[in-house]
Each structure stands twice: as structure tokens, then as C-alpha cells.
Chains A and B, each alone.
Chain A
């Protein structure tokens, strides 16, 4: 039976629109504007989850993103399910289904609750201890530990939502739209600065928006009225953008910040269709103002984690903003005046307060007196020593504190209650500031860390800077803004503020109990179930550094990142170890401040947008003709063209046979093409390639090998001399961009004296490579007036021509070893050219072949593929390509390295051919090569780099690199495989037509 705890109307809740939702399969009702937490509390539901380690019943504790307990699963069992969501951050919508996590079979009866009884066996670091002793037991523990790790359930279906990224550049970013942020954003925007104001909540104004105590005023208005007016004015400013429901996740160097904007999570599911769910904002701001406020501290006492125990400020937010009374019999427990503000709200709204327990001995501010005048019993100098109630608090036990606050004295008093509000003072939210590289300093008087040294153009304003009272905020901020923006005045310079806030506090990090310490459960980090006992144990076991204690006890880890408990952990360590907190420092607050979904991080980079696909002008033809595609760099290249259900092997055998027997055609458009012009173009080529270029005649082509500075092969390709000072270089498909970058780098930094211009024309040309014995006949059909005789157009030369009036360049070059022509035509005609070649070649059974057949054909000829047969550790000499290295040239890139003692060694890995004893046995690429399979340890001589079954030679062929391979011609070696050893013979790497008869045919 649920009870209605809703108070009179709140202006922030729309009671005309009732929303139904389910929690743990039970239907409840809330109103538009409710969070899941406020709606549950309105239905008097406190118990929402079980704790991480001990499975203790836990309730809603806060009203914001610092919530450590009310972490739930949303829409379980659907594709849009999300684990570990804070109930305090979820806005309810029609159809929302939420459920408790980390409990089985239910949150009311949880088998795992036995862990609470076993807790003496599960101290801090128990998990590490299971590794240590007895060592063999880990395998037995592992199953249970893994099973109990984690909280919610990850979705198992693909995420149907859409996410995106957005880059934002602004003059000023203001984080947090409380009173400080509102003042800062308005000042920035009114001074002509492009300003972005973000806040994680759907309502602007922070805590001030519902601060309407009659004894506090700004310019004679209640703070809530004053700030509402400010927000109205703010929303009209042109150069100010406001993003609500936007949480800054990370603050990186140089004012680069990441934020998550929630766009549809508050909408009913049917209204979300085709809308972006969440957006990752990548913000670059010239200046950043952090006004992230402060988090109220809990108090650390025995059994301080029961459902019904909340922060006092959260009770106030629930009553004032959401119109929800969290309890009928409330007790407040405090060490400062904040809880009295909650008390005042309660009195105004008629919510019953049983008692206030104040650990201060003599609180006497105006506020305290005012509460006393309302006949509320205040226990001064008392502390809570215990609480009871398993699934909801039903009683607090209190005792008087000793003078030094270290123990309790006198008699125990018990006060029945159903809700306990606690306030341990405030902690500035400095997480983002420290992420940016800022350094904190410790303020002794109220025991807080505040920003001190900034590393970028930013300031912290308001309570995140340690200004906790409205009075100090209003007084300090105008001056800070004037200095930060270098302006003379702000509209907030002469605000009239009236406030009675008193900041006195009695700080005791760990409150004593009448029980012996070992029998108590004073929780410090609720999310990670770490108690004060765990911290003290860590210290006893020798941990001293705060970072070590953090890892050992898990305090401040996880999605919580120490929002609530970190200060207490530090305080207890400092007190126990007898050091000053300021010297101890804090742990690192890591991004994200609040968890990000994977979807947000990934954005639109999923599915077809995961990576870029480059397509050639002939791509559509390949698709229409059922080609299978291979990714080569970012290109989609036709891999093979299966016919009649052929597999790859069958298709490749057919394609390569056709290319050798009659004619084949390959789409070679992806090869990099660099236009080289300038009076020093020949000299430039001399310097970048290993061979000589000065004497290459106009109209001729030459193969070149490019080395890295270390003498290792970097790229290769054919370069053609088009004119006196004009060349076109081809590079490998994958290497094109890197080669251009490297050559441009040389021109700009090493050889600025050379008159050479490099321009990529890779995409300008489509390239169809026609090869085979009948290629000449086919080309002649396409270009009847071109003299294709060997005299006029020999191998390694080029001709300008026209096909149907379209200018093209034809190179007679070959990567297959066949008589072959590469036709380069402007890309817009690429597909049509291809179709023309197919039509012309029909009578010769011209066969389109893909990259796989290309690899086979070139391997038959012993042509290397840079990146397949080489791996940046092979010199041209290692590749048996000594012929291409000029001995006469003064220099070329990598020359000096070719004469180092290591590169001239004779037992380097060298490229050889490999023939299997069984001609049908095809080696696996990457397989290791040995001489003696029985030797231990086995000595690996090299590996197979390329391997195919050649239909033209009717045998298996392979290339490989073998240590000292050049001298091993004819020698037997072994390829040891999983189930057998394969015997091979080292051969020449050229398997077919060593005399180049076919090329020149």
C-alpha cells in the first residue's frame, strides 16, 4: 500500500499532468517535473536498492548527481535498458520502468544480504587477499567474486538510439546555473561575449530558486523571486546559449571540455523517434567559469546508511522544489546551521520535526533561536550513536559527546522517527577544477579544499570556491567578475543583501559510538560500501598514501568518484595517522564527473559511419557484378568476382588463369598518384628513389623503390616522365597519403632550394589495367589510331591518347608479368571506360579480377607488395633487389643506412621463394620457417609472407623471408604447423617467365 507524501502544490511540479511509471513492477504515479527519486518518495518508497558489497538495504539519500545509493536499472529487458542510473537524475515519463539492482530475488528479500552477516570476513582488500593465501584457492573464489562484481545489467541488444557529437567554440563557458553561474553568465553576455551556460538539471537557479525564507532577501525580494527575474532576463540575451540537462563530464587542458547533453531521456518513448538521444559537446572556451556549487557532507556514525537517512539539504529540496515530505516523523542531525534551514522549511510546510541533534555544544545563531522558538527540541552537544530499522529507519539512539568529541557520555536517549536528515557541512565541488590541472589549498577553519592555482583562463565562483553563504556570494562575485573580464562594473555591484547565515561548524570526521568500534558500521563511501573501519584497517596494514588507501578500500572509486565520502576518508586518515589534511592532499578526481553512455562517446560513428569508405569511379560496376570487397586502407577494393556460387579460391583460380591465357582487367584507381612539376623534378626523384632518374627519357616509365631514413623499404611504384619538368608518380594504395606527406616534408624542411611542386591527383584519374596476351588487341579496338607496336609503344613507356574525344594517358606497365596497359582517364569517365573495355574484350573473354588475383599473379612473377612481403625491416638488398640501388648517386633517402654494419650483414632475413614438396600443399601466410624442427629451443629462421596455389604453374608457390636465405637456394627447410611439418625447398622468388617474354610479347 503506497502512501501519498505529496505536500501542497509546488510551482515546479505540474500537477495537472499525472505520469504513471513502474518501479520493481509496481505502478506508481508522479507528476511532470518529478525525478524518479522524488516520485518514489512521494509514494513513500525509500528502499530502492541493495549495497554493493554487503547487500544492505539502501534508500534515496540525495537529490542530485552525487547520489550513491539510489542507483537503478531503467527499462530492464529492452533494447534501451540502462544500468546504474541515479534515480535522482531520471525525470519520469509515461511508461518508465525502473528496477532495483544488485538484489535477488527482490529488493525486499535479497539472498545476498547474508554478506552483511559475513562482513567480518569481507574486510577492506579481501579481494586482494584472496590472491595471496592460500594461493590455490583463487580459482575457487573467482567464480563467486566475478558473479558478485558490478551492479546493473548491461544491455544485450543493439542500442536503437541515435547519438551525435557537436563542436562548440565560445568566449565564455559557465558551468552550473546556480546564483553564481547566473550572475557570471549574465555579466559575460552583457559584455558582448559569446557565452554558453550549462546546467545538469532541467531547472535553472540551483538551490536559490526555492530559497524563500522571509528573513533572507536580495534587493528586498526573496532570493527565489530575484533569481527567477534574472533567469527571465538571461533567456532573452542574444549571445547567450543555455543548455539544460547538460553535465560537464571532463575538463581537459587549455579549456577543452566535454559535456553530455541529454535531449530525449525525459520524453515518453513514442516522442523520441528519430531524435538524437544524447549529444557529446566538445567545447573549446576562451574562458571558463566554474560555478558547480557544493555538496553537502553526510556524517559518519554507526549505521548511517539506512533507508530514510538523507542529506538535510536533499530533504529541503524535496519539500520545497518537488513538494514531497520524505518522512512523517523527522529527525535532523547536524554539525552546522544548514539543517536548521531545512527545519525552517519543514515548519513552514507543517512537516513534523521530532528533534534536532546538533553536535555543537552551544549553537546560538539567529536561525537556531528561531527554530527553538517553534518548540522544536534541540539536543546540543549530542551525537547519534546508532540507528535501527532494517528496511527503513525507525529509531535513532543519541548520547552526549565528550568535550573533545572522541567519546560519548551519559545515558542513551532513543527517538522514534521515519526519516533522518543529516548535515556535515559543505564540500566545494572542485572535481572539474582539479581535472583541469588546478591545485587546491586546504582551508583550516572550516576544513575544506578550495581552488588555489589555476592552469588556464578560468575562475571558480560561489560555493565551489568556498563561499557558502548567500551573503559572501553576493559580495564577492562582482569583484571577481570585474577582474576576470577586465571590466569596470557589473550590474550586481550594489545589490542589497540581507541574510542571517552563520557558518560555525564543529567538525568531527568519525563520530563516536557507545559500541566498540569493531562492532559498528560507520559508512564513508556508500556506493563502494567502504566504512571507517576499512580505512583504519588499511592504515594498520601499512598503507600511508591516500592514493593507496583509496585503491585498497575502494573509497572514492567507481562512478561516485568520492563526491560524498572523500573528505571523511581523508579526515579519518589524517586523524588516525596524526597528519594534517592539507599535507595529505586529495585523491585524483577522474573524468567523467557523471557517467557517460557509450552511445554518447561514440556519437554518430557507428554502422556505416564507423569508418570512412573511399570508392573508385567504377565501384557501382563492381557492385552490380557481385564483387566481394576488401578494405585496403580506407578504400573498398573489388576482391574477387564470384560466379555461380564460386568460393574465393575458385574465383581466383579462374580469374588468374583468364588473365594469363587471354585478358584480365583490374580497377587500379586506388593507387596513389602524385603530380610532380618543377625544374628540379629529376633531381628530386634522384633523392627520393634509390635508382637514377636524370636520364629517363620523356615518355618513359621507371619502377622506383623509396626507403626510409633507416634504409628500409618504405614504398614503391612506377613514375612516368610526362615532360621535361613533369612526372607522375604512383605509390601503393595504402601508402599514398604518407608518401605525399613525407615528400612534402622533405621539400619544405630539408630541400627548400628545390623547385618542385607536388600535387595529389589520385582521385582525378580512374585507372583500368588491361593485361594478358590479348590486351593489345583490346586496346587497339578502343583506340584504333594509336600505334601499339613495340617500337612505338614499348614496355615501360606511356602515350597520351583520346578515347571518344576524352584525353587519357596510357602506360604500358605491368604488375602481373603480362603484356599490360594502364589506362588513366578523368574519373567522371572511369565507369564508362571500364564498360568500354569489357565490351571490347568480350570476344577475348576479358575477365575482371580483384585484388586477390592481382596478388597471385604478381607473386608468380616474384613482384613484392610493400607491407605484405616487407615489414619495415627489409632493405632492397634483403629483397634481392640490389639492381635497383644506384652505387653512383651522391645520395638518396636511406643511402647512408645501407652501409651500416648491421644492414650489410649477410645473415639478415632475405626474401626467397618457397616451393612445397607436395605441390598441392598451400602454406599459411605468417607461418614460421625452421631448419631443424627437433632443435630445442626451436630456431626460427623467418616466416612466409605470401602464399598461393598457382593455376598457371599448377603448384603451390610462396614467398618468405629467411635468415641468410640468399645463400640457401635449393636447401630444404621445414614449416612446422600445429599437426604436421611441411617440407619446402628454397627457390628463386621469380616463379614465372624470368626472361620477361610475356611482358614484352
Chain B
């Protein structure tokens, strides 16, 4: 049997902040431009793709983050969600096969790190030029920015509960930087 190995395999608890890799979480990139694409996706997954820049929407099962006018990332809200396979199959069937757009499996492209605690934005301030003043109070807000010089997608999941998506090859470096910085907050 092949063994599954998480990217970071670590958990850090500091007094004001907790870092945790959430894995395995299935993730897909959706690409498409047309109105038909948007409605086909909506029908397939029972949730509309967010069209307002830097926002996300979710239902009980999945969350969708707007990435660009023709690009979204969809991910499962729960670990090791077998139902997600059906979602993927249906999307491939209704989007790729109908030539409406593209569906790409990026489950292992991105590592999802969850941060909780009341000093998350103090941590971000140490390595990201992004202005989080409004973001921090807006549930569902997302951004694509740099953190410690690394490309990240950040989602405001809830008050003091933030998801960071980072490319797997960068994840250990980012995690190490975040832990180092968080240790002095």
C-alpha cells in the first residue's frame, strides 16, 4: 500500500494563535467564462459561484473562493470527504465534456493551513503587504497576496478563524516562518 503523507505534519499551539494543517482536503480549480458555464456549475453543485472579487461562498459541504473572473477554487469542508469524488465526476461531466470550461484536481497542489486565535492579523502584518483592515471584519472575504514572500490565498472563514492556502512545495517554509513569528506575538 502507498502511504499518504501530509505536507507539514505538524501542529503548533501558541498562547494567542494556533496553526494546523487540514488534510486531506479535496480541492478543484474551476475555469470558465460563459453564462452557460456559471449556470451549469450552479446546477451541478447547488451553489452559485461567487462573482464578486475576493469573496467566497459555502454551503454545508463545500466552499468556493473567487480567484479571478474565470477561476475559482472549490474545496471540501470536511476531511477525507468521499462524496467529493461525485462532485468532481459531475463537474467533469457537465463542464469539461460539454466544453463549457475546465476542471482541474489541485488537491495536492495546495496545502490548507488553518489559523485560529486573536493574533492572526498581527502575524500577517509581519509578512504581508496586504491591507487587512477591512478584510478582518468581513466573513468570507478572500485575498491572494504574499506572506513571507510566498504566494498565498487567504480566506476569512470566521472571526479569529482563517484559512491559508499555499502551494505544497512552499508549505513547510511558510509554516516554519509562521511558527517562528507566532512564537513572539
Identify the closest chain A residue to B124 (Cβ).
A167
Q: How far is the CB of A526 from chain B (nearest CB, A)?
A: 39
Q: CB of B50 within 8 A of chain A?
A: no
Query: Contact: B96 with A609, CB < 8 Å?
Result: no
Whole-angstrom CA separation of A675 from B96 in the bound complex: 13
Instruction: Pick from B106, B176, B183, B184: contact of A764, CB below 8 A.
Output: B106
Query: Contact: A831 with B104, CB < 8 Å?
Result: no
Query: Contact: A678 with B102, CB < 8 Å?
Result: yes
Q: How far is the CB of B70 from chain A (nearest CB, A)?
A: 7
Which A residues, 737 to 770, have Cβ-Cβ distances below 8 Å to chain B?
755, 757, 759-765
Q: CB of B18 within 8 A of chain A?
A: no
User: Which B residues lie within 8 Å of A763 (CB)?
Assistant: 108-110, 167-169
Instruction: Pick from A604, A755, A826: contact of B107, CB below 8 A.
Output: A826
User: Which B residues lie within 8 Å of A726 (CB)?
Assistant: 96
Identify the closest chain A residue to B130 (Cβ).
A167
Which A residues, 796 to 841, have Cβ-Cβ distances below 8 Å to chain B?
803-804, 806, 825-833, 836
Instruction: Pick from B125, B126, B129: contact of A604, CB below 8 A.
Output: B126
Instruction: Pick from A276, A615, A761, A833: contact of B104, CB below 8 A.
Output: A761
Q: How far is the CB of A604 from chain B (nearest CB, A)?
A: 7
Q: CB of A616 within 8 A of chain B?
A: yes
User: Which A residues lie within 8 Å of B173 (CB)?
Assistant: 612-615
Identify the closest chain A residue to B102 (Cβ).
A677
Query: Contact: B5 with A612, CB < 8 Å?
Result: no
Identify the closest chain B residue to A607 (Cβ).
B180
Which B residues, 131 to 171, have Cβ-Cβ distances below 8 Å to chain A?
131-133, 148-150, 167-170
User: Which B residues lie within 8 Å of A677 (CB)?
Assistant: 31, 96, 101-102, 104
Query: Contact: A828 with B24, CB < 8 Å?
Result: yes
Identify the closest chain B residue to A760 (Cβ).
B109
Most chain B CB inside 10 Å of its own CB: which residue of A275, A757, A762, A836: A757
Whole-angstrom CA separation of A765 from B104 in the bound complex: 12
Whole-angstrom CA separation of A826 from B150 in the bound complex: 22
User: Which B residues lie within 8 Å of A762 (CB)?
Assistant: 109, 167, 169
Instruction: Pick from A609, A615, A679, A833: contact of B169, CB below 8 A.
Output: A615
Query: Contact: B133 with A725, CB < 8 Å?
Result: no
Q: CB of A169 within 8 A of chain B?
A: yes
Q: How far is the CB of B130 from chain A (nearest CB, A)?
A: 8
Q: CB of A608 within 8 A of chain B?
A: yes
Whole-angstrom CA separation of A759 from B125 in the bound complex: 29
Q: CB of A347 within 8 A of chain B?
A: no
- Once A614-B169, A763-B108, A826-B108 are accepted as A-B contacts, the answer to whether A166 and B125 lie under 8 Å apart by CB is yes
Query: Contact: A604 with B102, CB < 8 Å?
Result: no
Query: Contact: A829 with B3, CB < 8 Å?
Result: yes
- Once A282-B129, A828-B6, A829-B2 are accepted as A-B contacts, the answer to whether A759 and B169 lie under 8 Å apart by CB is no
- Once A609-B148, A609-B177, A804-B1 are accepted as A-B contacts, the answer to whether A827 and B168 lie under 8 Å apart by CB is yes
- Once A167-B129, A617-B168 are accepted as A-B contacts, the answer to whether A827 and B106 lie under 8 Å apart by CB is no
Whole-angstrom CA separation of A765 from B107 in the bound complex: 10
Query: Contact: B5 with A167, CB < 8 Å?
Result: no
Most chain A CB inside 10 Å of its own CB: which residue of B1, B6, B130, B132: B1
User: Which A residues lie within 8 Å of B89 (CB)?
Assistant: none
User: Which A residues lie within 8 Å of B168 (CB)?
Assistant: 617, 763-764, 827
Q: How far is the CB of B7 from chain A (nearest CB, A)?
A: 7
Q: CB of A966 within 8 A of chain B?
A: no
Q: How far is the CB of B166 from chain A (nearest CB, A)?
A: 9
Contact bitstring A433-461, B, C-beta under 8 A = 1, else 0: 00000000000000000000000000000
Question: Number of A residues whose C-beta is below 8 Å from B?
Answer: 52
User: Which B residues lie within 8 Å of A608 (CB)?
Assistant: 176
Q: CB of B181 within 8 A of chain A?
A: yes
Q: How far is the CB of B75 from chain A (nearest CB, A)?
A: 14
User: Which A residues lie within 8 Å of B181 (CB)?
Assistant: 164, 604
- Once A757-B70, A757-B102, A763-B108 are accepted as A-B contacts, the answer to whether A614 and B170 lie under 8 Å apart by CB is yes
Q: How far is the CB of A515 from chain B (nearest CB, A)?
A: 59
- Once A763-B168, A764-B107 are accepted as A-B contacts, the answer to whether A169 and B131 lie under 8 Å apart by CB is yes
Whole-angstrom CA separation of A705 from B120 in the bound complex: 45
Query: Contact: B106 with A761, CB < 8 Å?
Result: yes
Instruction: Pick from B1, B132, B170: contact of A612, CB below 8 A.
Output: B170
User: Which B residues lie within 8 Å of A284 (CB)?
Assistant: 131
Whole-angstrom CA separation of A804 from B4 in the bound complex: 12
Q: CB of A165 within 8 A of chain B?
A: yes
Whole-angstrom CA separation of A726 from B102 in the bound complex: 9
Whole-angstrom CA separation of A763 from B168 in the bound complex: 6
Identify the closest chain A residue to B108 (Cβ).
A827
Q: How far is the CB of B119 from chain A (nearest CB, A)?
A: 13
Q: CB of B117 within 8 A of chain A?
A: no
Whole-angstrom CA separation of A763 from B29 in the bound complex: 14
Which A residues, 174 to 210, have Cβ-Cβ distances below 8 Å to chain B?
194
Which A residues, 389 to 439, have Cβ-Cβ distances below 8 Å to chain B?
none
Query: Contact: A764 with B102, CB < 8 Å?
Result: no
Q: CB of A254 within 8 A of chain B?
A: no
Whole-angstrom CA separation of A446 from B7 in the bound complex: 68
Q: CB of A904 within 8 A of chain B?
A: no
Contact bitstring B1-29, A, C-beta under 8 A = 1, else 0: 11111110000000000000001100001
User: Which A residues lie within 8 Å of B104 (CB)?
Assistant: 675, 677, 759, 761
Instruction: Pick from A612, A759, A830: contact of B106, CB below 8 A.
Output: A759
Instruction: Pick from B2, B7, B133, B148: contact of A806, CB below 8 A.
Output: B2
Identify the closest chain A residue to B1 (Cβ).
A804
User: Which A residues lie within 8 Å of B180 (CB)?
Assistant: 604, 609
User: Which B residues lie within 8 Å of A979 (CB)?
Assistant: none
User: Which A residues lie within 8 Å of B105 (CB)?
Assistant: 761, 764, 826
Which A residues, 626 to 665, have Cβ-Cβ distances below 8 Å to chain B?
635
Query: Contact: B5 with A832, CB < 8 Å?
Result: yes
Contact bitstring A161-173, B, C-beta under 8 A = 1, else 0: 0101111110000
Q: How far is the CB of B66 from chain A (nearest CB, A)?
A: 15
Contact bitstring B21-49, A, C-beta under 8 A = 1, else 0: 00110000101100000000000000000
User: Which B residues lie within 8 Å of A806 (CB)?
Assistant: 2
Q: CB of B128 within 8 A of chain A?
A: yes
Most chain B CB inside 10 Å of its own CB: which residue of A274, A725, A755: A755
Which A residues, 476 to 491, have Cβ-Cβ distances below 8 Å to chain B?
none
Identify the closest chain A residue to B122 (Cβ).
A166
Which A residues, 928 to 987, have Cβ-Cβ distances below 8 Å to chain B?
none
User: Which A residues lie within 8 Å of B109 (CB)?
Assistant: 760-764, 827
Identify the closest chain B residue to A282 (Cβ).
B129
Query: Contact: B102 with A759, CB < 8 Å?
Result: yes
Q: How far is the CB of A781 from chain B (nearest CB, A)?
A: 14
Whole-angstrom CA separation of A604 from B184 in the bound complex: 12
- Once A615-B169, A763-B109 are accepted as A-B contacts, the answer to whether A757 and B101 lie under 8 Å apart by CB is yes
Query: Contact: A828 with B5, CB < 8 Å?
Result: yes
Whole-angstrom CA separation of A528 from B23 in the bound complex: 62
User: Which A residues lie within 8 Å of B110 (CB)?
Assistant: 763
Whole-angstrom CA separation of A732 from B31 in the bound complex: 25
Most chain B CB inside 10 Å of its own CB: which residue of A194, A609, A763: A763
Q: How far is the CB of B10 from chain A (nearest CB, A)?
A: 13
User: Which A residues lie within 8 Å of B31 (CB)?
Assistant: 677, 757, 759
Q: How far is the CB of A337 from chain B (nearest CB, A)?
A: 46
Q: How far is the CB of B125 from chain A (nearest CB, A)?
A: 5
Query: Contact: A832 with B2, CB < 8 Å?
Result: yes
Query: Contact: A635 with B169, CB < 8 Å?
Result: yes
User: Can you list 5 A-B contacts (CB < 8 A)?
Assistant: A167-B129, A604-B126, A604-B180, A804-B2, A828-B24
Residues of B within 8 A of A (CB): 1-7, 23-24, 29, 31-32, 70, 96, 99, 101-102, 104-110, 125-133, 148-150, 167-170, 172-173, 176-177, 180-181, 183-184
8 closest Cβ pairs, A-B complex? A677-B102, A614-B169, A757-B31, A764-B109, A827-B108, A169-B131, A832-B3, A763-B168
With A167-B129, A760-B109 already in contact, 17 other A-B pairs whose C-beta atoms are closer than 8 Å = A167-B128, A167-B130, A609-B148, A614-B169, A615-B172, A617-B168, A635-B169, A675-B104, A677-B96, A759-B29, A759-B31, A763-B108, A763-B169, A764-B105, A826-B107, A829-B2, A832-B4
